[in-house]
Structure 1
């Protein structure tokens, strides 16, 4: 297949597939469609739900030595269900988190869009009048003006306008609660100051954004001076009026949801620079003990079978952020509950949940059906002993992964680019020296060995990183995070180079077989046994940023496809060379064809299966790469030089087969999806429900993500460097490609398949840059090694 035509075909089909495979997720950002709305009145629901929000709380405050002096916090962690919630937003701010919780999707708050009581005066005008002026309420959307104790967001239009560009709705949670007759209240705020005019205060009134409806209204609330009291020795001379908030909470209606924000810890960290460490620790201890006292009061009033208490933090404090502890504590308590850990099917990792799950869970507390398109799955819990201790240990592992990336992953990407360019320059230099190079003797041999070893280390590095994942948790527990990172970096460098040095002594074909098949086998083994190594690998998951929680990530998806295609075609090339016959005189036997096709099918199925790889873009990319490799290796001479029409038909058929496999494996009736459903399965459910709106924006968002990564990600530079190296090798000298096709046909079939697979991965994934970069290395490095072997005047390896 001619490369230029193939690129056009894959590009056109890829754009078409982006449209077809993502129809299902389009409804994720449209107005909610309610299932079973006729059951509104008869739905059984928890009568009263209380959510306590503590901005600035982190897992640093929940360590055993801290809990020793906080008996009610300790009781909550021991008898309730504990979890770590990903609250990562664009700005890492609580206004974004509250807005996102209210939308059930990532959304952005606006600093100027504050909340006010209807009776409050702003700019000399009551907030209710401003609300009417800016939004036109009351109007057809509401039959009567808001109550005097209601909370209003007059600048709601700013929030909607800011999020409209990203197609995220706001106020979905409040709309659903209001629709089902659930009374919504918000008490408390994190204002920096008290007793001043509104224009003079530093307002931090973002909590109502979580429960407001799409009109920017919360049924009842108390903010600002109504929720604070003067204490001169506290930050900003202000403290939460706990007694007053508790009395308001006790008056809540049924059914109701009440959000209480305790802002003292946030105020303390906002004023951190004015205190020395001893004074800061003293005030922090007082604040936490005061919170603990009132937490005990609330827990005492939680009635069995009727009340539910949640606690979380919308923003961790600066100390936790510097330690890279970005996950927020989330705890759930009901009367009579025992020690448990929160479980989320969105993450499939005990204790780790998403804020979308929390939104869906609050709806499920009242037995409100989850709207089509909402990606969050209601949380459950599992009974464990020492749940908090296990979660803190897992946090340390996740913390080490996040902190290791700047020291390991990004330098490795730079190392990849440097080795590729240095190797290319070395080859160009060798070619120019010509026969004079033979006079260098041992120096020539040593230099070539060094370059080959460095190139092979690029292929050994991914599997070494994966296997190091099995050691990450023990190292962290034994040595601590800082020392464990240093040990990991040293172990990675030594292991990658040592393995490369050992493989360098083998023949090139045998080396590619071992590397390709071995790497793919290790990835598949880990995936099929719970992905324990991938969970703790620097090249695997990163729960701190919420990139992926289960399945095969795009990094290792690219490695898996590239390595397997390289290994299988290298094995076929070895048989071809041993046969000492032309390409037309030798062909793989039926047994070899069946074995290779079976492996390709199994790996594709693994990527598509919701309980294993759960990577839709990866499954489609694998179908394309493996299908092209199989057609060129086994389908006869005419498939080795595909014309435009035949190539288009082949790619269309492969993509159709990939989509069909995804549909079968992720449908509700599939045995593979029976135990647990993936995000792909939910997308297909949305497709079946007819959520076709906003398709254009969805595709635009995906393209924008890849464009952003192309500019910002280090992997884009790896991809560009690899393509540059390949282009130079193919174009200089002219005709080199034809020579390789004649002497090493199966190598070239593998290169062609991996190249097309990389293009498919780029087009079919949100972060396709990463997958394409890790996959294309399995083309660039073998091509450099082939050219080195040709130019070397030593004995061919």
Structure 2
């Protein structure tokens, strides 16, 4: 009896000891925290100086990138905050915007949020940065944005500035109980409002001193918190419109201890160093939701800040070049269209003969744009001269090689279509550098087959190969080749252009209907349909599982049977295309 009592007491004491020592061990795993620091009115040139040690360290040892977004009119912080917090569901364009996504998603995950600081002016309170973290109701859990974060300074514009010592104390005090803290530095915004009221040299000295104080504040934040705390710096708006600051790119820098340095990226852009506004929502949730042992390197790829700046400058050059060259090219095509309609009515045979000789050079122009894309020429006059000479030389070579004009046309079209399709298989690198390809600045498409080269692919592929599909000895396999090309255009991994695939599929059906004999037509339609079904099955149950492109999202809805949402997407696409047709008078004219 005594032995049993002793055994029971021993078991009870042992259990209490296990519970006592196991609870602290579990509590030793720190929760992931995030300190977001809002830096408005910082220029790209501010990152090219050694006066700010922490920023320079972060550019080489942190994760850096650019957030691409579009706002109406001039890029200002008040416009940027709701766009970033509204984002687009899924991180892609084309989805309905929803306000307060960042704050609402954090609240649903049980995360506490706090907003510290202000950008107040003597005549106007400014706490608009809170919109970057607020939920759908415009609220955060904790807000300290009154005079407690300011200090008197007679040497600073308006006589007061941010108290960075006090701000740092508040951050460190709130970190144990708050998962996401947004800090508004504010002083650079106040300096921007004071610009013009003091000498430019004095203003620049005040600005440099403010950046130095912010740099020291950031260095203190990095040294104090535990290892699971990340620091995110977002430049919500530049100070000027020089040196590329007018482009819609917001620098984003992240300091995550034990994380490899590199460039931020996402599957929504497939571009190293570039993410979208919708990606920012997912990135913040990932940074605050990491599990023990999770690396979180899915957002990071190899690359450096200096290489990203070279890309940013070229994106701006590319945009300015296409605004001039493509506009002239489109106007010239419209002129040739009306000229072709007028030529049958004129007796001027020399004009007709000259136009017939000149038209092939115009047809070779898009192919030349693709071939010279790897050169990335920045000089506009030299690029224009190269395009004209290249187009003429390309047609002269094809005309010399082909015994007839028709055969030269066919080889031009087949070569153009093959170049586009092969480029798609290898990541569309040529098209992304071409003036006709997707532009990261415009942000309508970052990857795959854009509508500009889609039209060229459809025209060149069909004009160059239809005769072969109908009369070649291997025409019984035309359906297989056509189905493969259609799936290449539609696939989210390559073309990611559903509308282009539908248009090409419709043309393929018309081609196969004209095949002779009738058994060959039926056989090719069977092969074509089988190819599409197999490709759709692979996308539904294989390749499409992990992507976040607009087609990946559509495939995900299709797997879930969300027919109402699919119908809503289809209706929105139809309305968008009708709006594009009605955007200009030329839309209905050219369509008719």
Shorter-chain-normalised TM-score: which range?
Answer: 0.7 to 0.9
Q: Structure 1: which 5+ runs fail to align?
A: 1-40, 108-165, 195-199, 370-377, 438-443, 476-480, 573-586, 640-645, 725-797
Give CA deviations for 1:744-790 in whole Å, capped at 9, x if unaligned.
Answer: xxxxxxxxxxxxxxxxxxxxxxxxxxxxxxxxxxxxxxxxxxxxxxx
Q: How does 1:475-624 map to 2 (within 5 A)?
A: 475=377, 481=378, 484-500=379-395, 507-569=404-466, 588-594=471-477, 596-624=478-506
The Cα shift of 1:696 comes to 6.7
1:629 maps onto 2:511 in alignment: yes
Report the Cα distance in structure 1 between the residues aligned to 2:244 and 2:386, rounded to whole angstroms. Answer: 26
| Cα pair 2:162 2:185 within 8 Å, conserved | yes
8 Å Cα contact 2:54-2:216 kept in structure 1: yes
Distance 1:366 1:225, change over 3 A: same
Q: Which residue of 1 aligns with 2:557?
A: 686
Deviation at 1:464, TM superposition (A): 1.3
Measured in 2, the distance between the counterparts of 1:291 and 1:465 equals 46
**Would the aligned equivalents of 1:185 and 1:257 in 2 still touch at CA under 8 Å?**
yes
Q: CA deviation at 1:320?
A: 4.6
Residue 355 of structure 1 deviates from its aligned partner by 1.7
CA displacement, residues 639-692 of structure 1 (integer Å, 9 cap, x when unaligned)? 9xxxxxx9xxx99x999879746632422x32x447856431222213333545
Q: 1:521: how far off?
A: 0.8
The yes-or-no answer on 1:666 pairing with 2:529 is no
Contact 1:453-1:501 at 8 Å conserved across structures:
no
Aligned to 2:97: 168
Structure 2 residue matching 1:552: 3-state secondary structure: coil
- 1:178 is aligned, of 87, 103, 107, to 107
**Aligned counterpart, 2:47:** 62
Question: Residues of 1 paired with 2:185 and 2:229: CA distance?
Answer: 20
- Counterpart for residue 277 of structure 2: 355
| Deviations 1:119-142, CA, capped at 9 Å, x for gaps | xxxxxxxxxxxxxxxxxxxxxxxx
- Would you say 1:452 and 2:335 are equivalent positions? no
Structure 2 residue aligned with 1:779 = none
The alpha carbon displacement at 1:296 in A equals 1.2
Q: 1:634 to 1:219 in 2, by over 3 A?
A: farther
- Aligned partner of residue 298 in structure 1, secondary structure: helix
1:399 maps onto 2:316 in alignment: yes
The reply to whether residue 190 of structure 1 matches residue 119 of structure 2 is: yes
CA shift for structure 1 position 76: 0.9
Q: Matched residues in 1 for 2:38 and 2:247: separation?
A: 18
Q: 1:86 aligns with which of 46, 50, 68?
A: 68
Residue 313 (structure 1) shift: 1.8
What is the aligned partner in structure 2 of residue 102 from structure 1?
85
Does the CA contact (< 8 Å) of 1:361 and 1:379 recur in 2? Answer: no
Q: How many residues align?
A: 553
Q: Distance in 2 between matches of 1:264 and 1:281?
A: 13
CA contact (8 A) 1:666 1:677 kept: no
- Tell me, in whole angstroms, the C-alpha distance in 2 between the residues paired with 1:269 and 1:427: 63
The aligned counterpart of 2:372 is 468
Q: CA deviation at 1:45?
A: 8.1
- Please state how far the C-alpha of 1:230 moved relative to its aligned partner: 4.5
Q: Distance in 2 between matches of 1:508 and 1:526?
A: 27
Change (3 A) 1:383 1:610: closer
Aligned to 2:275, what secondary structure does the other structure show? strand
CA distance in 2, matches of 1:465, 1:611: 24
How much has 1:83 moved relative to structure 2?
0.9
What does 1:328-347 align with in structure 2 at a 5 Å threshold? Answer: 328-347=250-269
- Judge conservation of contact 1:104–1:360 (CA < 8 Å) in 2: no
- How many Å separate the matches in 1 of 2:103 and 2:194? 33
Residue in 2 aligned with 1:709?
580
- Distance change >3 Å, CA 616–CA 78, structure 1 → 2: same
Residue correspondence of structure 1 range 740-779 to structure 2 within 5 A? none
The superposition leaves residues 380-437 of structure 1 with CA deviations (integer Å, 9 ceiling, x where unpaired) of 34464x61112112212212222222211222111111122123222321xxx3xxx6
* CA distance in structure 1 between the partners assigned to 2:196 and 2:72 by the alignment: 25
CA, structure 1 residues 388+519, in 2 after alignment: closer, same or farther (shift >3 Å)?
same
Q: How far did residue 274 of structure 1 move?
A: 4.5
Q: Deviations over 1:593-652 (max 9, x none)?
A: 42x43432222121122322122222222211222223234565999xxxxxx9xxx99x
Q: Aligned partners of 1:634 and 1:316: how far apart in 2?
A: 64
What is residue 367 of structure 1 aligned with on the other side?
Answer: 289
The TM-score, its normalising length taken from structure 2, stands at 0.83
Moved more, 390-399 or 168-177: 168-177
Higher relative contact order (CA 8 A, sep 6+): 1
1:120-178 superposed Cα distances (whole Å, 9 cap, x missing partner): xxxxxxxxxxxxxxxxxxxxxxxxxxxxxxxxxxxxxxxxxxxxxx9532223322322
Taking structure 1 as reference, are residues 404 and 666 closer, same or farther at Cα in structure 2, changes over 3 Å only?
same
Tell me: CA distance 1:56–1:702, structure 2 relative to 1, closer, same or farther (3 Å): farther
Contact kept, 8 Å, 1:398 with 1:544, in 2: the verdict is yes
Aligned partners of 2:40 and 2:238 also within 8 Å = yes
> What CA RMSD, in Å, does the superposition of the two structures yield over aligned residues?
3.5
